[in-house]
Structure 1
Amino acid sequence: MQGGLFQRFSSAVAVGAGRPAAFLVAVGLIVDWAASGPLFGFSTTWQLVVNTVTTIVTFLMVFVLQHSQNRDSEALQAKLDDLIVAVSRADNRLVGAEKLSSHELKALRQSVRQEARNGEATIRTGTGPAEGATPAEPPR
């Protein structure tokens, strides 16, 4: 697996943060913090510690997890594009559809739905593709 330091770090953090152990550690830290309240007299500094730490961790996790999500999305799109190209009946206009504007994507989806409806009508009348072939299910 190729990748820079940040990529390896963000992948490891995303995997680790999604585990039950990470949740249990977070709960444990909050319980410890709450239990230490009487020791510090529930002071403003005591409250500020948890607020500051959670804010910083949340801020950094947004970037780490977004990077991981972007990579996963890119990989998924590449796999889908490959499947579209490999399937002879697939519409090659769908390759790279994720890069279209919202308006273009809506028009493309409507076109695909209409083609799916036309394909179903063709199969029902017996003038469609070879026996055993089925039309693509329209997107929902």
Structure 2
Amino acid sequence: MDPQNNQQQTDNGEKKTAGFFERFSSKVAQATGSQWAFFIALAAIIVWGATGPVFGYSDTWQLVINTGTTIITFLMVFIIQKSQNKDSKSVQLKLNELIAANKQASNRLIVVEDLTEEELDTLHNYYTRLAEETKKRLAMKESHSVEEAIENTDEKLEAR
């Protein structure tokens, strides 16, 4: 994805532009997650607090901060959810690719996010037991190495 113009190239070479809300929510989430956004919010609170004596700590003075923060929070819920949905979907797709590419992995796990809570608990118990058995046989630092990663990369290149 080209961050400058929010376009990405499709498989057939066409440029596809992200929708308005996708572009908007991405930019807002990025901006509000910055240190500057925090300092601006902190400055607003300090200014609001400092004006308390000027306005006699009135109900209106309190209502200003309550209303402002409520509106911002309400809108940010949707922005954050959109961002998390996109992130979650992209991570899920990356994991699906890894599962599909690995001959030893179960393709049944590709749609694991569609399982019921009970089915997920069953799989969790299975993998917990598998991890416990692995711990009995191997020390954690012995289970993976740089050499294994290089061998895996070499095997992938040879398979091409």
Q: Does 1:103 align with 2:118?
A: yes
Structure 1, 64-73 or 38-47: larger mean CA deviation: 38-47
> What does residue 16 of structure 1 align with?
31
Aligned match for 2:72, one of 57, 62, 74: 57
TM-score w.r.t. structure 2 length? 0.69
Give the CA deviation at 1:107. Answer: 1.8
Aligned match for 2:41, one of 10, 26, 30: 26
* Partner SS, residue 96 of structure 2: helix
> What does residue 91 of structure 1 align with?
106
CA RMSD of aligned residues (A): 2.6
Encode CA deviations 1:81-125: one digit per residue, 9 max, x unaligned: 00100111111111010111111112223344556778899xxxx
* Partner SS, residue 95 of structure 1: helix
Output the amino acid matched with 2:41. Answer: A
Give the CA deviation at 1:35. Answer: 1.0
Aligned residues: 125
Percent identity, aligned pairs only, is 48
* Cα distance in structure 2, aligned partners of 1:57 and 1:15: 15
Aligned match for 2:50, one of 35, 38, 49: 35
List, as ranges, runs of 4+ consecutive aligned residues in structure 1 with deviation greater than 2 Å.
Answer: 108-121
Output the amino acid matched with 2:23. Answer: R
* Cα distance in structure 2, aligned partners of 1:119 and 1:44: 62
Q: Does 1:69 align with 2:84?
A: yes
Structure 1, 64-73 or 3-12: larger mean CA deviation: 3-12
TM-score w.r.t. structure 1 length? 0.78
* Partner SS, residue 68 of structure 2: helix
* Cα distance in structure 2, aligned partners of 1:22 and 1:67: 19
* Cα distance in structure 2, aligned partners of 1:83 and 1:31: 49
Aligned match for 2:93, one of 59, 78, 103: 78
Encode CA deviations 1:14-68: one digit per residue, 9 max, x unaligned: 1111111110000000001111112212111111000000011001101110111
* Cα distance in structure 1, aligned partners of 2:18 and 2:47: 37
Structure 1, 70-79 or 36-45: larger mean CA deviation: 36-45
